[in-house]
Amino acid sequence: MRISRKFVYLTALLTLIAGAEFASAKTKPKASSTDEFTYSVIHAIPSGYGADIVDIYADATLIIDNATPGTIKSFTTTHNNVTIRFYANGVVPSGTTSPLLSSSAFMLSRGTTLSFVAHLNEAEQARLSTYKDMVTRAGVKRSWMTVRHVAAAPAVQFRVNGTPTFIPLTNSMGRKRSLAFGLYTLGATYPETPTAVIAASSFEMKAKTNEILYFWGAKSKSNLGFLRQEIMTNK
């Protein structure tokens, strides 16, 4: 039987396509740095509220063992979603154990980072808030300063070098602005009063950074203060 040239050509073409698909399925590329996502976890529940020592999980993976108040850590992952859970010290996640705090499942995206912050609300109840961190460039010779109110306290007025900055912030609120490189002090007062809630904290605005300062603690315990987190921004 005579076989046409057209039939031979089609057979060869299909063989090449099948081989290419097999090779593609077999050789999966490795994840590169552009496939990585970043997030941070902050334990800002002060002592005495049932979270003095906790274990923190990302999905089913233990990421911080024996975390204490004031702990701040950052992580990278190739997974584009994450759920953060706080468990009592030594408690292992299972179908019969419940976390002290849990976030929703958050999608991670390139070009931004998330901060998961365990803290008190104004009524002194523990909660877990999530914030998107600015990582784009702030401008020529400028960087970002971010302030977040996560304390069991009324609204506060943040002051940079003694000058009222931003609108008064209540619990769980945050704001950012760009500042030129240099040394600054950050203080806090209650709105409409010049009396300091806490002593001013000094910090330096450096290149390619977002200086994030958390106003944390509990007014009733007289332990209000600042927690500082520094993340890198894009060039």
Q: What is the pLDDT of residues 3-13, one digit of tens each?
A: 455 444 444 44
Domain termination residue (choose one: 133, 167, 199): 133
Distance of CA 85 to the CA centre of its chain: 14
Residues 117 and 139 in one domain: no
pLDDT at position 17: 40
Of 120, 126, 130, 189, nearest to 152 by C-alpha is 120
Domain interval for residue 79: 31-133
Dihedral angle at the C-alpha atoms of 175, 119, 94, 54, nearest 10 degrees? 120
Q: What is the mean pLDDT of residues 201-223?
A: 96
Q: Which residues contact 33 (CB under 8 A, 6 or more apart)?
A: none
Query: Where does residue 164 rank: exposed (0-12), middle (13-18), buried (19+ CB within 10 A)?
Result: middle
**Judging by DSSP bridges, how do beta strands 37-43 and 54-58 pair with one another?**
unpaired
Domain termination residue (choose one: 84, 116, 133): 133
Dihedral angle at the C-alpha atoms of 70, 151, 210, 106, nearest 10 degrees? 90
> Is residue 14 assigned to a domain?
no
Residues 101 and 191 in one domain: no
Of the chain, the percentage scoring pLDDT greater than 70 comes to: 85
First-to-last C-alpha distance (Å) of the chain: 69
> Is residue 21 assigned to a domain?
no
Residues 140 and 126 in one domain: no
Q: What is the mean pLDDT of residues 20-37?
A: 49
pLDDT at position 79: 82
Model pTM score: 0.83
Residues 140 and 228 in one domain: yes
* CB-based burial, 186-195: b 16+ in 10 Å, e otherwise: bbbbbeeeee
Question: Which DSSP state fits 152?
Answer: B
Of 226, 223, 191, nearest to 211 by C-alpha is 226
Q: Each residue of 79-91: pLDDT tens digit?
A: 889 999 999 999 9
Residue 235, pLDDT above cutoff 90:
no
Q: Domain containing 172 — which CATH number?
A: 2.60.40.1120
Which amino acid would we find at residue 138? A
Q: Each residue of 145-200: pLDDT tens digit?
A: 999 999 999 999 999 999 999 999 999 999 999 999 999 999 999 998 888 999 89
The 54-58 sheet, strands edge to edge: 61-67, 54-58, 84-88, 101-102
Residues 102 and 139 in one domain: no
Domain termination residue (choose one: 133, 148, 175): 133
Q: Which residues contact 115 (CB under 8 A, 6 or more apart)?
A: 39, 40, 41, 42, 130, 131, 133, 212, 229
Of the chain, the percentage scoring pLDDT greater than 90 comes to: 75
Specify the number of domains making up the chain.
2
Residues 115 and 59 in one domain: yes
| Rounded-to-integer distance, Cα 108 and Cα 68, Å | 26
Q: Which residues contact 136 (CB under 8 A, 6 or more apart)?
A: 111, 233, 234
Residues 69 and 121 in one domain: yes
Residue 125, pLDDT above cutoff 90:
yes
More confident of the two residues 112 and 117:
117
